[in-house]
């Protein structure tokens, strides 16, 4: 089970416990009714019956609480145990109604309150079955009362109460069904919104990627390079330098003209891959334009910068590209420079560019270091 699953499960368990505790208020009301009717001599049963009702109530609720706290309820098909809790509460209420005499009429509404606990959990069918069960329990009173009490209530009154309860529960069922529909619609709307939110997030990510990277090579684009390089320049501490290299593929026009633009694109993509694989994660590599690339290595001196560029140059010069003849080798030239704290980026790029021209003039497939790097 993932951490998210565990968190969700814990959240639902908390909700179930909250609902259970709320139901205890209902029980409390029935205990208060039993005790007060008994105190006022209105309770038609014995003390033992009154006590047994309260004890059964405490006992059954203790079992539910234990199941919830020990997470054993999670093993059930319905971990909320809604039907079981409704059945127990309905039976206990019926047991109480036998003995509360005149209060019976008003206390029948508690059946509806018990059913309300199932409004979000029970299916429409289960809700109707639970309502039917409540009616059957109350109906059984009409049959059993003459056997249980010496002075049973008049049958006509009992039948009328049963009929009123049936009407009331039918209304509650309809109302709960309406609430459930409303909730389902809200849930659907919420789900749709969530899907839209995910899509938007994805699109934002794509837009960001489009705005910051070069579509062909996947490297950073020129604008993002400037932003990030400027930021890194401000982080340079006195005495430290960053290495800057402008890299240009040699005779690239020839590749395009002879073997086609598609092959040229593949060479550009391969260069990006080779260069990225030859560098560390935090080295900044960007496509500067056309077949020109720019590299910034944080905390590098001339030697380190030279080593990095040489690594790329040699690997690139040894690579065979699909679409080019077997013995055709592409090469690159590079101009190197160093950046120190307080330096102007565009000025250093211009110097690296000049060094690149020098490398081209020196026969290509090599790198040159700007004199300014030694200053």
Looking at the Cβ atoms of 104 and 360, the one nearer to ligand GTP is 360
Count of residues of this chain found to bind ligand GTP when the rule CB under 6 A is applied: 17
Site stretch for ligand GTP (CB under 6 A), options 92-100, 160-168, 183-191, 245-253: 245-253
Please indicate whether residue 291 is annotated as part of the active site.
Answer: yes
> Least distance from C-beta 360 to ligand GTP, angstroms?
5
Residue 291 engages ligand GTP in binding (rule: CB under 6 A): yes
Contacting ligand GTP (CB under 6 A), which of 42, 228, 265, 283? 265
Binding-site member from 189, 190, 253, 320 for ligand GTP (CB under 6 A): 253
CB-closest chain residue to ligand GTP: 264
353 contacts ligand GTP (rule: CB under 6 A) = no
**Can you tell me which residue has the tokens 């789900």?**
191
Site string for ligand GTP, 267-286 (x = CB under 6 A): -x------------------
DSSP strand pairing (292-297 vs 284-289): antiparallel
240 or 276: CB nearest ligand GTP: 276
Whose Cβ is closer to ligand GTP: residue 110's or residue 249's? 249
Which window, 59-67, 124-132, 244-252, 316-324, contacts ligand GTP (CB under 6 A)?
244-252
Q: Is residue 264 close enough to count as binding ligand GTP by CB under 6 A?
A: yes
From the list 291, 292, 310, 347, the catalytic residue is 291
Residue 250 in contact with ligand GTP, rule: CB under 6 A: yes
Selected binder of ligand GTP within 93, 249, 272, 349 (CB under 6 A): 249
List the interface residues with ligand GTP, window 203-232 (CB under 6 A): 216
Per CB under 6 A, 16 contacts ligand GTP? no
Q: Which of 49, 60, 256, 270 binds ligand GTP (CB under 6 A)?
A: 256
Q: Which two tokens stand for residue 56?
A: 């059964």
* Residues acting as catalytic residues: 291
Q: Which residues bind ligand GTP (CB under 6 A)?
A: 216, 248-254, 256, 261, 264-265, 268, 290-291, 360, 364
């Amino acid at each position: 089970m993932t951490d998210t699953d565990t968190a969700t499960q814990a959240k639902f368990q908390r909700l179930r416990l909250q609902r259970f505790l709320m139901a205890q208020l209902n029980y409390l009301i029935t205990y208060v009714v039993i005790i007060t009717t008994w105190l006022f001599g209105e309770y038609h049963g014995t003390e033992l019956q009154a006590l047994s009702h309260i004890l059964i109530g405490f006992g059954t609720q203790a079992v539910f609480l234990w199941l919830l706290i020990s997470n054993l309820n999670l093993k059930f098909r319905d971990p909320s145990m809604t039907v079981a809790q409704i059945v127990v509460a309905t039976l206990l209420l019926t047991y109480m109604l036998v003995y509360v005499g005149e209060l019976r009429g008003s206390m029948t509404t508690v059946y509806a309150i018990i059913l309300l606990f199932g409004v979000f959990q029970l299916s429409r069918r289960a809700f109707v079955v639970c309502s039917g069960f409540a009616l059957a329990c109350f109906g059984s009173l009409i049959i059993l009362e003459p056997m249980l009490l010496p002075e049973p209530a008049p049958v006509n009154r009992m039948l009328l109460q049963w009929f009123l309860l049936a009407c009331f529960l039918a209304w509650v069922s309809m109302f709960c069904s309406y609430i459930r529909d409303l909730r389902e619609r809200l849930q659907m709307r919420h789900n749709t919104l969530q899907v839209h939110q995910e899509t938007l997030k994805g699109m934002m990510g794509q837009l960001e990627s489009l705005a910051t990277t070069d579509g062909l090579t996947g490297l950073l684009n020129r604008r993002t390079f400037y932003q990030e390089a400027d930021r890194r320049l401000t982080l340079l501490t006195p005495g430290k330098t960053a290495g800057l290299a402008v890299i240009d593929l040699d005779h690239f026009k020839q590749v395009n003209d002879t073997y086609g633009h598609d092959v040229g694109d593949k060479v550009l993509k391969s260069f990006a891959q080779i260069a990225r694989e030859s560098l560390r994660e935090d080295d900044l590599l960007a496509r500067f334009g056309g077949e020109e690339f720019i590299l910034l290595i944080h905390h590098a001196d001339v030697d380190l910068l030279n080593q990095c560029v040489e690594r790329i140059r040699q690997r690139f010069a040894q690579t065979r590209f699909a679409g080019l003849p077997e013995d055709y080798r592409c090469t690159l030239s590079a101009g190197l420079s160093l950046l120190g704290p307080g330096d102007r980026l565009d000025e250093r790029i211009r110097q690296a560019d000049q060094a690149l021209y020098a490398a081209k003039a020196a026969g290509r497939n090599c790198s040159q270091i700007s004199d300014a790097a030694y200053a």
